[in-house]
Amino acid sequence: MEGEEGSKFELEVISTSGVYKTPFSLIILIQLFIGGFVLFIVNLWFINSLYYLLTGIELYSVGLKAEWYYWLLLPLNIYGNIFLFVFTVILFSGGIFRILNKISPPREGIFERGSKEWKYMHRRFWTAYFPIWLARALPLPWLDIIAYRSFGTRVGRSVVLYEGYVDPLFVEIGDFTMTSLNICIFSHLIYQDKLLIKRVKIGKACVVGPHTIIAPGTIMEDFAVLGVNSYTKINQKLEGNLIHVGTPVSITLPIQSVEESQHKAVKVKESTIFDNTSQKKTDSHLQEE
Amino acid sequence: MFQPVSLKGNSPTPIDERIRKKFLILYIVIIILSLIPTSLFEFWYITLFWSETYFWIFFIALPFNVFLSIYLIQLSAILISVLFLKIIILIHNPKEGNFKRSIEDRDYYFWTLRNIVKKWPLYVTASNPFPWLKNRFTLRFYGVKIGKKTICDNSWISSEFVSIGKNVIIGMNSTILSFAIEQDNIILKKIKVDDNVLIGAKCVLLPGTIIKRNTKLSAHSYTNHNQVLEENSIYRGHPAKLKENN
């Protein structure tokens, strides 16, 4: 962040958008075709036996003879087909993603609209779109994490990432973090015909509350908590072992254990019952603690 | 991804339970009518290719057949709902204004009926891998004006009384509501977004807002009822306040 532009970004506090222009729909068509092709080839042997089941004629000389238990295996086949399709699409688009990274290696910084970085970020975005859409459409919750890992994002062990928008590049998520519903983690932002790309780091065992936006350049230290419905500034640092709340984040609160907070609540109750008149005393008593 | 699972649903079309019960048959009829073209297509496909000479075409073209039938369902659902919608608009023309939220109120009644007709095609097109099909394709059939080169794929947009200009970017998870329910009243008012506007992530536009040319609305902010955002400026806050004016 150098020069006038950088200072302006810091003044403006918060990102304006999280979408690139014009979808690169052709790449989705190619991914669909590759997935369908692999599905077709793998299925040939099963269709062979199915044809035999229906008509009694052998289609190919090489093939399995149909038995009665094949009908029991049919639903398994359909479900397996879905997973085969998803995994091939994820692997293939991960390959495309790496090739795009080789052609123009991703950099952090501020770029003009229509520059090479802009174009390639936009292509990477749309290659990542379809596999993660597919992974989110299936009932397995860990599938989208595998998709993210195939694009090279660092996602730690036992991370909760069921929902929300996460950029595939320049995002690091530590072990045991939990993200809630409807969150956005941006490593890019579009501001006045300029594109800013900055790395986002989320530490170990963090909690990202629902309806939050994490702007590019934020660093969450280990055990930090981001409160509900708040968003972070660009290049903001959230300290560990604290709760951060605000739009943008400005208030910090200590994390209390359940026993501690209950103990305090009980003390307040007792004081109000027995000492209704001397409210100030109890307050000072609490402050001392 | 990108689109969270909770946002994969159709655009906001609240339906009154009292009116839904009366028009359940209409809803089912729309679903069945939209499935007829695909079943005819499948029948044609099987009769043509299921023979000993052409069986290889049957298997090679099977994946294309599946995708084509999915898109046929979506297209026919849109067209049939548009047909029903035209009939409903002939009976009662949609109006802006404040209305009572009761069954006797004719405007509220027909507003929910329109939502019932739009429900199925919006649901079907929302569950589609191509991002442009949900908003930019279907909403244009319902009379929402969306200009060229706009991006509004990952957002909720009401299906009535909305006009969006050219070259607009609407961010992730932001919602554009041309209706508001306040206790026993419902407010319907037109939202207008002009050219080259940039709306950030998670914004909410309430009914009656007008955003003029080249303005930017920062992320995580919402506008009031009937608020006017002026040209060439930046807005931010709850509700949106002027931040910078070029």
Q: Where are the domains of chain B?
A: 5-245
Strands B241-245 and B233-236: antiparallel
Query: How far apart are alpha carbons A234 and A196 in whole angstroms?
Result: 10
Please report the pLDDT score of residue A129 as a whole number.
84
Query: How far apart are alpha carbons B203 and B101 in whole angstroms?
Result: 27
In this structure, the answer to whether residues A129 and A192 fall within a common structural domain is yes
Residue B83 has pLDDT above 90, yes or no: yes
Residues of chain A contacting residue B4, judged by C-beta atoms under 8 Å apart: 163-165, 181-182
Residue A22 has pLDDT above 60, yes or no: no
Residues of chain A contacting residue B170, judged by C-beta atoms under 8 Å apart: 17, 19
Q: Does the domain spanning B5-245 belong to CATH 2.160.10.10? A: yes
In this structure, the answer to whether residues A229 and A276 fall within a common structural domain is no
Residues of chain B contacting residue A213, judged by C-beta atoms under 8 Å apart: 201-202, 219-220
Residue of A36, A128, A231 with shortest CB distance to B220 = A231
In this structure, the answer to whether residues A273 and A250 fall within a common structural domain is no
In this structure, the answer to whether residues A264 and A133 fall within a common structural domain is no
The domain spanning residue A85 has which CATH number?
2.160.10.10
In this structure, the answer to whether residues A49 and A173 fall within a common structural domain is yes
CA-based nearest distance B184→chain A, Å: 28
Under 8 Å CB-to-CB from A72, ≥6 apart: which residues? Answer: none
CA B126 from chain center: how many Å? 9
In this structure, the answer to whether residues A70 and A213 fall within a common structural domain is yes
Under 8 Å CB-to-CB from A31, ≥6 apart: which residues? Answer: A89, A92, A93, A127, A130, A131
In this structure, the answer to whether residues A136 and A202 fall within a common structural domain is yes
Residue A172 has pLDDT above 50, yes or no: yes
For residue B222, report the phi and psi dihedrals to the nearest 5 degrees: -135, 160
Q: Tokens in use for A46?
A: 């099963």
Q: How many domains does chain A have?
A: 2
Question: A280 or A197, which is more confident?
Answer: A197
Which of A252, A160, A276, A169 is closest to A208 using CA atoms?
A160
Contact B171 A25 (CB under 8 A): no
A12: how many CB neighbours lie within 10 A of its CB?
20
pLDDT band at A268 (very low <50, low <70, confident <90, very high): low
pLDDT band at A14 (very low <50, low <70, confident <90, very high): very low
In this structure, the answer to whether residues A142 and A90 fall within a common structural domain is yes
CA-based nearest distance B3→chain A, Å: 6
Q: Number of A to B CB contacts under 8 A, please give it.
A: 127
B9: how many CB neighbours lie within 10 A of its CB?
15
pLDDT band at A15 (very low <50, low <70, confident <90, very high): very low
In this structure, the answer to whether residues A151 and A272 fall within a common structural domain is no
Query: How far apart are alpha carbons B23 and A177 in whole angstroms?
Result: 46
Please report the pLDDT score of residue A90 as a whole number.
93
Which of A124, A105, A131 is closest to A23 using CA atoms?
A124
pLDDT band at A2 (very low <50, low <70, confident <90, very high): very low
User: Residue A38's domain spans which residues?
Assistant: 3-254
Query: How far apart are alpha carbons A60 and A52 in whole angstroms?
Result: 10
For residue B242, report the phi and psi dihedrals to the nearest 5 degrees: -65, 130
Model pLDDT for residues B183-237, shown as the tens digit of each residue: 889 999 999 999 989 888 888 999 999 999 988 888 888 999 999 999 988 888 8
B-side interface with A, Cβ within 8 Å? Answer: 1-8, 55, 59-60, 62-64, 67, 127, 129-132, 149, 151, 153-154, 169-173, 198-202, 216-220, 234, 236, 238
Please report the pLDDT score of residue B5 as a whole number.
54
Residue of B170, B200, B220 with shortest CB distance to A247 = B220
pLDDT band at A27 (very low <50, low <70, confident <90, very high): confident
pLDDT over 70 percentage in chain A: 74
Q: Lowest mean pLDDT: which of A64-68, A146-150, B67-71, B87-91? A: A64-68
